[in-house]
Amino acid sequence: MRVRYQTIEFDDVDIHVRTLRDKQQYADPQEVAADLGISSASWPLFGVIWLSGEVLAHLMLTYEVEGKKILEVGCGIGLASLVLNHRLADITATDHHPEAEAFLKENVKLNKGTEIPFIRAAWDDKSTGLDGFDLIIGSDLLYERDHAELLSGFINRHSKVHCNVIIVDPGRGHSSSFSKNMLDSGYALDKTTSSRVNTSHDTFTGNILNYSR
């Protein structure tokens, strides 16, 4: 497994990250990921920086976070969590991938930050030990058809009675089903912002979904 080190600039904030070198990397000698149902093709997806993740991190640079308990779902490398940690926000990260926690810890050290609590959990886990959150965020999460139901259920189980949810979606085709599930759970879709954002890698064209309850 080969890695790379890079610095992502967010206005006047530099976030240093260790990522996989590319999407061709794979290392599962104990078959931990395989036992979790993570294929060799999807294994490296957690460990690279996606455009949606950069957009979410940019949003978190200025989002009002004081007094909010925040959860990043499917954090991967955890770029948004690192930005929030830089701002001393109350951030917890979660991901299903067995390597996500180690990469997150290394990236916290690279940025000389305080430890970010991490829970490895699947979206269909009924008990994670996590309390309710005021703000739940995520990016590029709706890969498969069943993800809409699984993700909305996970969010609903981990949100406080009043909660905001921000999902950055590049348009993989399952956001409408996800929104229907969120509405059925009592959320209101405040707005869907179609955005064209220049990131450090490319131009993101997708939707920023904002929900509140």
pLDDT digits (tens, 9 = 90+) for 139-177: 999 988 899 999 999 999 999 999 999 999 988 888 999
Q: Which long-range contacts (CB under 8 A, 24 or more apart) does 194-200 make?
A: 195/55, 197/51, 197/54, 197/55, 197/58, 199/51, 199/54, 199/55, 199/58, 200/8, 200/9, 200/54
CA dihedral 98, 9, 140, 134 (to 10 degrees): 80
**Sequence ranges of the domains in the chain:** 3-212
Residue among 85, 36, 20 at smallest CA distance from 57 = 85
Given a cut of 80, whether residue 199 has pLDDT beyond it is no
Residue among 146, 26, 15, 201 at smallest CA distance from 97 = 26
Question: How does residue 198 score in pLDDT terms, banded at 50, 70 and 90?
Answer: low
Q: How far is CA 78 from the centre of its chain?
A: 6
Task: Name residue 65's beta-bridge partners.
Answer: none
Task: Name residue 13's beta-bridge partners.
Answer: 10
Instruction: Report pLDDT for 192.
Output: 67
Given a cut of 80, whether residue 196 has pLDDT beyond it is no
Calpha distance 139→141 (Å, rounded): 6
Instruction: Report pLDDT for 200.
Output: 58
Instruction: Report pLDDT for 8.
Output: 94
Instruction: Report pLDDT for 194.
Output: 55
Calpha distance 67→84 (Å, rounded): 13
Give me the CATH topology for the region 3-212: Rossmann fold (3.40.50)
Instruction: Report pLDDT for 190.
Output: 86
Give me the percent of the chain exceeding a pLDDT of 70.
95
Instruction: Report pLDDT for 171.
Output: 84
Arithmetic mean of pLDDT over the chain: 93
Q: How many CA atoms lie within 13 A of 66 on its CB side?
A: 1
Cα distance from N-terminal residue to C-terminal residue, the chain: 42
